[in-house]
Chains A and B, each alone.
Chain A
Amino acid sequence: MTHHRAYAQGTVLILVGTKRGLFFLTSQDREKWNVEATTLKGRRIYHAVLDQRDGCRLFAADNGDFFGSFLRYSDDFGQTWQEPEHGIQFSPDSDQKLVNIWVIEPGRPSEPGTVYAGVDPASLWISSDGGKTWEPNAGLMSHPTRDRWEPGAGGLCLHTIIPDPSNASRMWVGISAVGCMRTDDGGRSWVFANKNTRASFLPTLYPEFGQCIHRLIQHPSRPNVLYQQNHCGIYKSMNAGDDWIDIQQNLPSEFGFPIALDVHHPDTLFVAVEDPEARHNIGEQFTVYRTENAGATWELLTEGLPTGPGVRLGVLRHAMCTDAKDPCGVYVGTNTGQLFASRDRGDSWHLIADFLPPIYSVTATALG
């Protein structure tokens, strides 16, 4: 008998994409959590997201080790999955082949059928019918500098997509290791938006492109304000990416992958900077870092997070998120399978799941 999966309104659902499958964590109070495995098991789930703009459609980036990568969607909370009728596949004459699907981003509230996806090799894919059919963005595919783009350690991946909710023609994408790019004409053309961000691994410290951007987020009410965690720094832009301001300040490292913010108090941001060589917490204390003044100063958040000579935890680019509650919940997954949660905007933390496969992504949604 099929169990019909249903959740009460207000339930916080965390989608946890791992190296070996997709997991759900659910809670009514953000204190007691229920962990469920899904039917997407054994696959590398780089990202998953619940789209509540028009119903409740769950999308997952399912990267198989053997038989290809597929975007899948489910309308029954992951009990059954559908494949697009025309999925993310390059044209046979394009000389490109899909490596991994990195991110799925629902479009603006004003375009409920539109969904975006970012993949390796770096390209932006668009569906206008809720995920049934997909086409690549031609402007990015034919960008005049494309043959000079170089991959980062994770591949030549387009991992972040921000459709500007205030401007239907504007969007930003983050590509490793190309940098931040912006379109102001609905995707027909793209410009680099990397001024003042470093690429210390290249001969030129401040190139036009070639930066290894790791994650990019937008201020929820000031659309020209962006933040990014880069391979080489943490930055803020006040002008839609025209230039960037270094906000590392007192952080002990410039290197990290994720960045998240509190939507009700958007000068409050969270990062998880790491030792850049070892790629885990600095010293023996696993730490999340918070600013409450948009990057002027940072504080260490450690209450409830593990410490000791064996603590060596890393956090990947999509493995930290906040929920939309106030005070906001913060969720951090590690590349060794621990999921930590705070329901008081980072002041204190609890381990809410352990022994998961390496965590690639976490997204939290309060069910409407």
Chain B
Amino acid sequence: MDSPTDIPTITVTLPNALYARIGNRKSVSASGRTVREIIDALDQNFPGLRFNLCHETGEVRPYVSIFLNRENIRSLQGLDTPVFPGARMHILQSVAGG
């Protein structure tokens, strides 16, 4: 069983549209072993944030992009992508439109 110290804590940067959700900040810290766990942890601290990022059915919303160390998780293992200590997560709104 993992001890709390085995669970990575990383910095997550969010887009301007979600600053209000996290207390008018640009980035926050969260702990988890996968992207899914990071989102779970964010939602614990900032209720409603998961619904901003994911549909009720679990998948990431189509115009939300999550990058882990500059790699889009869609090209990794999606929400099951492992998170390692020192990683940086960027959550962005995708380009939509022309």
Contacts and interface: CB of A to CB of B under 8 A. Distances in A.
Interface of A: 64-68, 83, 87, 89-92, 94-98
A67 B56 contact: no
Q: Which range holds the interface residue count of chain B?
A: 10 to 19
A97 B55 contact: yes
Contacts of B93: 66-67
A95 B57 contact: yes
Interface in B43-64: 48, 51-53, 55-58, 61, 63-64
A65 B58 contact: no
A21 to B, nearest CB: 14
Contact of B57 (A65, A66, A83, A97): A97
Contacts of A96: 56-57
What 6 A-B pairs are tightest by C-beta distance, nearest first?
A97-B55, A67-B52, A66-B93, A90-B56, A66-B63, A97-B56
Contacts of A67: 17-18, 52-53, 61, 64, 93
B57 A92 contact: yes
Nearest to A96: B56
A89 B49 CA distance: 13
A90 B93 CA distance: 23
B56 A66 contact: no
Interface of B: 17-18, 48, 51-53, 55-58, 61, 63-64, 93-94, 96
Contacts, number: 39
Nearest to B58: A92
B94 A89 contact: no
Majority DSSP secondary structure for residues of B touching A: loop
A251 to B, nearest CB: 37
A66 B51 contact: no
A97 B53 CA distance: 13
A271 to B, nearest CB: 33
Given A83-B48, A89-B51, A66 B58 contact: no
Given A66-B17, A67-B53, A92-B57, 6 more contacts: A64-B17, A65-B96, A66-B94, A67-B17, A68-B61, A87-B51
B80 to A, nearest CB: 17
Contacts of A94: 56
B52 A98 contact: no
21 contacts: A65-B63, A66-B17, A66-B61, A66-B64, A67-B18, A67-B53, A67-B61, A67-B64, A67-B93, A68-B51, A68-B52, A68-B61, A87-B48, A89-B51, A89-B56, A91-B56, A92-B57, A94-B56, A95-B57, A96-B56, A97-B56
Most buried by B among A65, A66, A68, A91: A66
A109 B83 CA distance: 53
Contacts of B63: 65-66
Contacts of A90: 56
A98 B17 contact: no
B96 A66 contact: yes
Contacts of A87: 48, 51
Contacts of B18: 67
B42 to A, nearest CB: 13
Contacts of A91: 56
A363 to B, nearest CB: 26
A73 to B, nearest CB: 15
Contact of A92 (B53, B56, B94): B56
Nearest to B91: A67
Contacts of B51: 68, 87, 89
Contacts of B58: 92
Contacts of B96: 65-66
Nearest to A94: B56
Nearest to B94: A66
A298 to B, nearest CB: 40
B18 to A, nearest CB: 7
A243 B63 CA distance: 44
Nearest to B92: A66
Contacts of A68: 51-52, 61
A64 B17 CA distance: 10
Nearest to A99: B55
A66 B57 CA distance: 16
Contacts of A89: 51, 56
Nearest to B97: A65
